[in-house]
Structure 1
Amino acid sequence: MNSRSRFKNYFIEAVSLFYILLFVYAAISKVLEFENFQAQLGQSSIIGAYAGIVSYSIIIIELLVSVMLVIPSFKLRGLFSSFILMSLFTVYIFIILNFTSNIPCSCGGILEKMTWKVHLIFNIISLILAGLALLFFDQNGRRTKLRLGAIFVSAAVILSVLNISSQYFIHKENPFIRKFVHMSCNKVSTAVLYNKNLYFAGSDKKTIYLADRLAPLYITAYDTALKIKKNFKIELKDDKYPFRSVQVKIVPPYFLVLDGTIPIIYRGKISDWKADILMKESGYYFSNAAVIDSVHIAFRTQNEKSGENILGIFSFKNGLQSSLNDSLLEKQIDGFFDTDGMMNYSVDNKIFIYLYYYRNEFVVTDDKLQLRFRGNTIDTNKIAKLKPVFIKEIGRRKLASPDYIVNRLSTVRRDQLFVNSMLSGRYEDKQMWKTTSIVDVYDLSSKTYISSFYIYNANDGRMRDMLVVDNNVYVIAGTELCRYTLQKNLKIKL
């Protein structure tokens, strides 16, 4: 055997040993951190929808290829298999770098510490080594080159198809796999609040307004950067009523004070914070409300006969007028607890959204409560998991089992719905649920899921309320008011 042949043999053995060590190390690292490995694959926009089968397949294939490289009679097949795997890995990273949002590397071990660009260079070098070993192994160099070219092109086509199909499944037919776009929501400033009873009452382009559940006539206002703070007190023209459930809604230049247990509604202007009675006792009792404009308010009340929740609108344009729509909320169990939910209104798009607490559904209507469509959040909880009972002694309905909340908080920006979900998706890091709240974002125009982001807990509590204004997310967590900026796919043109 001449020196050239010996060199080729040594090179083939060296490359085979390199791939054996690489694949065995990578496979073992993935097994040791399998839950994290699967979670990272689940965040991939390319193969996220197939993370389950892909996570197992990669480990098995890496170990099988390593065995093939050890056995002399299977070495050629092992090298071709190594080239195929490395082609797929290389094209995958190229797509990540150029066509998708950045996600964590899912290779395991020290390979995970590499940046994407360094990893791409490493893969290209590894690919070249496998290609040279195959050329040295096979005497027919032209045939081998054609095979290698076909393999690489096939890898590019396969991953492109997977990318398109995975995007479709995640955004249109989501199997409860969340998409987290790295750095799409970043915390930029914080203000300290004086108690834990504050909630968002409204906003305009320059100011964020907070109201107090225990002292409802006191308003705290911050500029959008959370640097300037002002305090105001609402003056009611006639306040001799047994208030029990006061809500303050601020839609500049107006503000409203509502209590559906009386029922009564005040309206005033934020220029002087003085309010006159807009509606008193002559309207329906209501348990929730959303301001459409200064003379229209959507509300939730109960059917007098069945006690089920229904939606309606108060109009004050020509005196008090009210209309009900009893077909919007759909009963599953009792029509009361199972239809409980949150109300949001988009002034920019003139759409009203009712999001259920206990199931993965929301209702979208126009500003007159005429149904546009029914949508679903990405979780799979279609039926409310509740057990309501009626207590005759006190004449009230209660839940006999702990409530199973699906959607906890919500807000709207133009045609986008932001939902704080209480359910963990597939392939998610369980530790993150202990320190964060997850917000899912939906495009109501295209009826698709966009992506999700994390809101971290404050030192003394998790997120209690949220508000989105332009490209800012404002969050109340514990005794902190935090501002996050939306970037990348969640940033809109102003």
Structure 2
Amino acid sequence: MMSLIKKYFVTTVCLLVAFLFVYAAMSKILDFENFRVQLAQSPLLSAYAQFISFAVVIVELTLAFYLCLAHFQKLALYCSLGLMSAFTIYIFLILNYSDFVPCSCGGILEKLGWREHLIFNIGVVLLISAAIFYKEKKDHPHKKLGLSISLQLFSIMICCGAVVVMFLRSEHIIKKENNFTRRFLQHPIFEDKVFDLGVNSYYFAGIAGDQIYLGNVTTPLFIAHIDTGLQNFSRTKISLDNLNHPFRNVQIKVKLPYYYLYDGNVPVIYRGKLGDSTAHTISYGDAFFNQLTVLDSMKFAIRTQRRADLQHSMGLLDLNRNPKISLKPEVLQRQIDGVFDVDGILTSEPKSSKVVYTYFYRNQFIVMDSSLQVVNRFNTIDTTTRANLSVTKLSDGRNKMNAPSVSVNKSQALFGDLIFNRSNLKGKHEPSSSWKSSSIIDVYRTDEQRYIGSFYIRNKGGKAMSSMISDGKYLYILIGNELQRYRIREGAFNYDSKRNRWFGESLVDGDI
């Protein structure tokens, strides 16, 4: 019996490995689009997904073919050893140095976890190595096996080294060089509560303590608040000390212990204490502006238009200083017209007063301190470095877009050193169906150039989210009439630089 096993051992191993490769290749081919999408989300190989998705299938089928030919079995076994070693080191890196990879397995291997898959692959590697020794001993019975060992080690080192290099390069491209390949985090948030607001005209004014404050574009003199548990909802009508203004766009912002009501077209800013329905004028005629965020009780970051050329500019409005307004023309960098090409959204972090401005039409957000000094200019993961706009200048000096624009970013929320950015562009290999039925949120650091990952917010009743806000523990979303609360999984966005991975990331099944 043993002599029979020895006689056909090499042939049996070759057929077994050939079957394994054919099975794996066919599983990928039958669901190739899904395989390519999931490979693109791999934290190790995402930057090379297009090439690898085809290469792996071709190599697996080619090796399976040559393993069945007696004259090519030895060469095919050496190549198979390298390929299986590459798959094995890939799983090892996933388990020890990365955050996650989506599953693209099928059939019997679909039930294997990552560690079981690692053990399975190691077993196949040892089996192939044993078959090589038997083959060499059979073909050259009097020859020492030192050369065979060297060739096996060379094959393993070349293939494993290639995977390691791709891993290091892919991580660099994804996190530093803006290759537009998204990494989808594994369940970073969980929807756990919904409150029906009755109408879809609310927007977030801020979070203070355990209360979420909302403004309403149709009833601008009402401020609503609901506890963070989404239990008790109430509205209060604000009484202004002066109503004799031609209001056009009244907005509300909240920063403890005050709320602020303003209209930059007038321009006027009112301030009231939370819990008090009366708001008093603290600024009138100091500055026209089209965006505002509160830095402290008498200090605001604004976006305005310069009188000389009507271009957008950042400015600091400090009501305790003289002059009260200080323009910061160096912050927004013109590419085309200085108006549409620098358009974006202005936000501040509630506790640190860190200010972030994200461009709508290019892949950049600007991090500033409370004096509007630029700390960093960071890039989002898409490749739109220049605004794709066609602008015409009218005779009265105004600029108008004369063609549809390509919007990159839509809205954002800040908390601590994180920015939740709602993107408007579909990345490589992302399913169109998911994109159409969801909003995509990309998460970045504001203290370094680092893309953390992405997740979907599903549309509700055909409506996409309108705005979001976070208190660090939860992410709150407005979709249609609903206020939705998503619990942020503990450690989902915390980065461990020593291990080059994010704390708390779960691992799911992988592929050979």
Unaligned runs of 5+ in 1: none
Partner Cα separation in structure 2 for residue 430 and residue 320 of structure 1: 52
- 1:241 aligns to what SS in structure 2? coil
Q: Compute the displacement of 1:178 (Å).
A: 1.6
Q: Tell me if structure 2 keeps the 8 A contact 1:296–1:315.
A: yes
Change in CA separation of 1:38 and 1:319 when aligned onto 2, cut-off 3 Å: same
- 1:138 aligns to what SS in structure 2? helix
Pick the aligned partner of 2:74 from 76, 99, 108: 76
- 1:132 aligns to what SS in structure 2? helix
Q: Compute the displacement of 1:224 (Å).
A: 1.9
Q: Compute the displacement of 1:406 (Å).
A: 0.6
Pick the aligned partner of 1:332 from 335, 350, 360: 335
Q: Please, what TM-score do these two structures have when normalized by structure 1?
A: 0.92
Instruction: Give the match for residue 125 of structure 1.
Output: 123
1:421 aligned onto 2:401: no
Pick the aligned partner of 1:476 from 478, 481, 484: 478
Partner Cα separation in structure 2 for residue 125 and residue 337 of structure 1: 60
Q: Compute the displacement of 1:491 (Å).
A: 4.8
Q: Tell me if structure 2 keeps the 8 A contact 1:279–1:320.
A: no
1:317 aligned onto 2:315: no
1:190 aligned onto 2:188: no
Pick the aligned partner of 1:244 from 243, 248, 255: 248
| Matched length | 489
Instruction: Give the match for residue 204 of structure 2.
Output: 200
The structure whose RCO (Cα within 8 Å, separation 6+) is larger is 2
Which one is further off, 319-328 or 135-144?
A: 135-144
1:263 aligned onto 2:261: no
Which one is further off, 137-146 or 304-313?
A: 137-146
Partner Cα separation in structure 2 for residue 390 and residue 325 of structure 1: 24
Q: Tell me if structure 2 keeps the 8 A contact 1:37–1:108.
A: no
In structure 2, what residue type is equivalent to 1:43? Answer: Q
Partner Cα separation in structure 2 for residue 218 and residue 142 of structure 1: 85
Instruction: Give the match for residue 174 of structure 1.
Output: 178
- 2:466 aligns to what SS in structure 1? strand
1:46-67 deviation line (CA, Å, top 9, x unaligned) = 2222222222221121111112
Change in CA separation of 1:102 and 1:373 when aligned onto 2, cut-off 3 Å: closer
1:287 aligned onto 2:285: no
Change in CA separation of 1:116 and 1:429 when aligned onto 2, cut-off 3 Å: farther
Instruction: Give the match for residue 368 of structure 2.
Output: 365
Partner Cα separation in structure 2 for residue 390 and residue 214 of structure 1: 33
Q: Compute the displacement of 1:156 (Å).
A: 4.9
Change in CA separation of 1:341 and 1:172 when aligned onto 2, cut-off 3 Å: same
Instruction: Give the match for residue 220 of structure 1.
Output: 224
In structure 1, what residue type is equivalent to 2:493? Answer: L
Partner Cα separation in structure 2 for residue 131 and residue 193 of structure 1: 65
Partner Cα separation in structure 1 for residue 467 and residue 173 of structure 2: 30
Partner Cα separation in structure 1 for residue 172 and residue 277 of structure 2: 49
Instruction: Give the match for residue 377 of structure 2.
Output: 374
Instruction: Give the match for residue 507 of structure 2.
Output: none
1:386-418 deviation line (CA, Å, top 9, x unaligned) = 2233556x9864322122211001121122222
Q: Compute the displacement of 1:277 (Å).
A: 0.7
Q: Tell me if structure 2 keeps the 8 A contact 1:253–1:271.
A: no
Q: Tell me if structure 1 keeps the 8 A contact 2:221–2:238.
A: yes
Instruction: Give the match for residue 454 of structure 2.
Output: 452
Q: Compute the displacement of 1:45 (Å).
A: 1.4
Pick the aligned partner of 2:443 from 437, 441, 447: 441
Q: Tell me if structure 1 keeps the 8 A contact 2:178–2:379.
A: no
Partner Cα separation in structure 2 for residue 228 and residue 114 of structure 1: 46
In structure 1, what residue type is equivalent to 2:366? Answer: V
Q: Compute the displacement of 1:464 (Å).
A: 0.8
Instruction: Give the match for residue 398 of structure 1.
Output: 400
Change in CA separation of 1:141 and 1:55 when aligned onto 2, cut-off 3 Å: farther
Q: Tell me if structure 1 keeps the 8 A contact 2:192–2:485.
A: yes
Pick the aligned partner of 1:273 from 277, 289, 294: 277
Instruction: Give the match for residue 116 of structure 1.
Output: 114
Which one is further off, 133-142 or 370-379?
A: 133-142
Q: Compute the displacement of 1:202 (Å).
A: 0.4
Instruction: Give the match for residue 44 of structure 1.
Output: 42
1:114-153 matches, cutoff 5 A? 114-139=112-137, 142-143=145-146, 144=148, 147-148=151-152, 151-152=155-156
Instruction: Give the match for residue 434 of structure 2.
Output: 432
1:148-194 deviation line (CA, Å, top 9, x unaligned) = 45655665554344333322221111311222221122222221121
Partner Cα separation in structure 2 for residue 128 and residue 431 of structure 1: 43
1:55-82 deviation line (CA, Å, top 9, x unaligned) = 2221121111112112111011112222
Q: Percent identity?
A: 37
Q: Compute the displacement of 1:441 (Å).
A: 1.5
Q: Compute the displacement of 1:334 (Å).
A: 1.7
In structure 2, what residue type is equivalent to 1:257? Answer: L
Q: Please, what TM-score do these two structures have when normalized by structure 2?
A: 0.89
